[in-house]
Structure 1
Amino acid sequence: MITVLRAGPLTTVQDLGRPGWAHLGVPRSGALDAPALRLANRFVGNPDDAAGLETTLLGCALRFTHPALVAVTGAVAHVEVNGRPAERPRGHQLFEVPAGGVVDVGPAVRGVRSYLAVAGGIDVEPVLGSRSTDTLSGLGPARLADGDVLPVGTRAGTPIVGEPARPGGELVLGLRLGPRDDWLDLTGLFGTPYTIGMLSNRIGTRLAGTALTRAKAGELPSEGVVLGAVQVPADGQPIVFLADHPTTGGYPVIGVVADVTPLAQARPGTTVRFRELD
């Protein structure tokens, strides 16, 4: 078992999500930086889809009742075990925790979200086939709070050590236009820098920059939206939908970002540019 000593501002249980339920109004959810979670799971010998913890900016602190093999990936953060820097074999944040040991994942010094995997996985009850916390619908376990206790599954599998990706600087996102790109004047969209706004979260990344103006009057009926959909509300500032996005929306969707993974580690103020894809 794991006892949560310091939950941090937004620490959640995440696996690779629950895709396939959008027709019932259920978002896919799951880790925003799925490659980082997969890597952490491989470090400790878990299947790629095992559940771990996703922290946001300020990390968390946990006490382990039994010895555990733990890995931390994603955002770069200082990690301590019982008050001492965690040993990092081959430069990776992969370490053994003794019974009763306390792991403290500190504030992110680069990136936004760190991923903590423990051998055996976080063994909370799955909902619709996933253990992920969905911050929009409320499905899955609640966001972590101080004093929570989390079960750990049986340790199995062989650790595979690889090279973690490091969060970068300016982002260039490939965008496929449609289905409602004709509803707005997109002149300059692909040459204009945007910045990530403070109100971004697991539902979507809000961008600030040159406002896109309407080319058509009127309103659309609600339509289905997908991961990476770029929706433009009345203020003309694009929103890129992330893992906990709603399954329908009434504002025009001008395109879909091919890979939203870089947005998982992008802080407010980060510059974003769009690149048109065929």
Structure 2
Amino acid sequence: MITVVKTGAQLLVEDLGRPGHAAMGLSPSGALDARALRLANRLVGNAPGAAGLELLLGGAELEFGSDAVVAVAGALGPVSVAGAAAGEQAAEPGTGRALAVRAGARLRIGPARAGLRYYLAVAGGIEADPLMGSRSADLLSGLGPAPLRPGGVLALGRPPGPPDAAWIPAAVPPAGRICVRVQPGPRLDWFAPGCWQRLPGRDWAVSPESNRVGVRLLGRPLERSVQGELPSEGMVTGAVQVPPSGQPTVFLADHPVTGGYPVPAVVVPADLPLLAQARPGQPVRFLG
């Protein structure tokens, strides 16, 4: 068992999500940086889709009721294990190694210096009631496990096998401009001629209002050639939706499954983990 002592800004149970249920109104949800969760799970010997914890910006503290093996990936910042039975250990998520935590010890994850979201995997995975085959929290609908609070207790599954003893290189979240590839969207013709050529030619800044639903971007507005509004149509993760303000939002895992604003572009799925780690004010550039 794990007892939550501190949660930081936001602490959620997430796995790889529940894709394929848009017809029922369910977003895919799941870890925004799926690459980081897979890495952490590999380090502790879990299956890639085992449920772990997603921590926003750091500041969490967890107390372990039994011996465990853990790994942290994603954002970069201080991670330490301390307790009377454990002594002192410290590691960086980017070192690509697992940590042993003794019963009674506390794991502390400090403020992120680069990136936005940490991913914590524990050997055996986090146990929670599944919904449509997933243990992920969906903040848009309120389905799945509720955001964790101090005093909450988490159950662990049985470790499936020995952790990966090898050093595994981890992706380092970029501190400067983030570049993501895009493909033409279904409503590119709703925008002024040359929009596709201009879209990659400018930097956008990540808005502080970004969240798990989407990354809001600030910059010179995109000009529309069609001024009417669309009936609601299906939306996918990575869709670049542009409201009347001309300021785009890139939909992430908790996005609504339908929307009425035009989509001139869609971010390539392999680049979405970069946006999951984008901090407010960080520049983003689209690559066509």
**Normalising TM by the smaller chain, what interval?**
over 0.9
104, 109, 112: which one aligns with 1:108:
112
1:23 aligned counterpart, secondary structure:
helix
The Cα offsets for residues 17-49 of structure 1, whole Å up to 9 and x where unpaired, read as: 000101111000000110100000000000000
Shift of 1:274: 1.1
Shift of 1:88: 7.1
2:14 is matched by which residue type in structure 1?
Q
Does 2:101 align with 1:97?
yes
Aligned residues of 2:29 and 2:136 also touching (Cα < 8 A):
yes
In 2, the alpha carbon distance for the partners of 1:88 and 1:167 equals 13
Aligned residues of 2:43 and 2:96 also touching (Cα < 8 A):
no
Aligned residues of 2:57 and 2:111 also touching (Cα < 8 A):
yes
Q: Partner of 1:140 in structure 2?
A: 144
Shift of 1:178: 2.0
1:38 aligned counterpart, secondary structure:
helix
In 2, the alpha carbon distance for the partners of 1:235 and 1:267 equals 22
In 2, the alpha carbon distance for the partners of 1:253 and 1:51 equals 32
Shift of 1:87: 5.4
1:100 is matched by which residue type in structure 2?
G
In 1, the alpha carbon distance for the partners of 2:91 and 2:203 equals 40
- Count residues in correspondence: 276
In 1, the alpha carbon distance for the partners of 2:149 and 2:221 equals 38
Does 2:273 align with 1:261?
yes
For residues 1-278 of structure 1, what are the structure 2 equivalents within 5 Å? 1-82=1-82, 84-86=88-90, 91-160=95-164, 161=166, 162-168=168-174, 169-185=176-192, 186=195, 188-258=198-268, 259-276=271-288
Structure 2: 5+ residue stretches without partners:
none
The Cα offsets for residues 86-106 of structure 1, whole Å up to 9 and x where unpaired, read as: 257994352111111110111
The Cα offsets for residues 35-74 of structure 1, whole Å up to 9 and x where unpaired, read as: 1000000000000000000000123110110000010111
Aligned residues of 1:126 and 1:140 also touching (Cα < 8 A):
yes
Structure 1: 5+ residue stretches without partners:
none
1:136 aligned counterpart, secondary structure:
coil
**Between the two proteins, what is the percent identity of the paired residues?**
54
In 2, the alpha carbon distance for the partners of 1:4 and 1:90 equals 24
In 2, the alpha carbon distance for the partners of 1:102 and 1:117 equals 15
1:62 aligned counterpart, secondary structure:
strand
1:13 is matched by which residue type in structure 2?
V
Aligned residues of 1:59 and 1:114 also touching (Cα < 8 A):
no
In 1, the alpha carbon distance for the partners of 2:10 and 2:29 equals 15
In 1, the alpha carbon distance for the partners of 2:150 and 2:92 equals 27
Shift of 1:257: 0.4
TM-score, normalised to structure 2, is 0.92
Q: Structure 1 runs of 4+ off > 6 angstroms?
A: none
In 2, the alpha carbon distance for the partners of 1:157 and 1:21 equals 32
TM-score, normalised to structure 1, is 0.96
1:177 is matched by which residue type in structure 2?
P
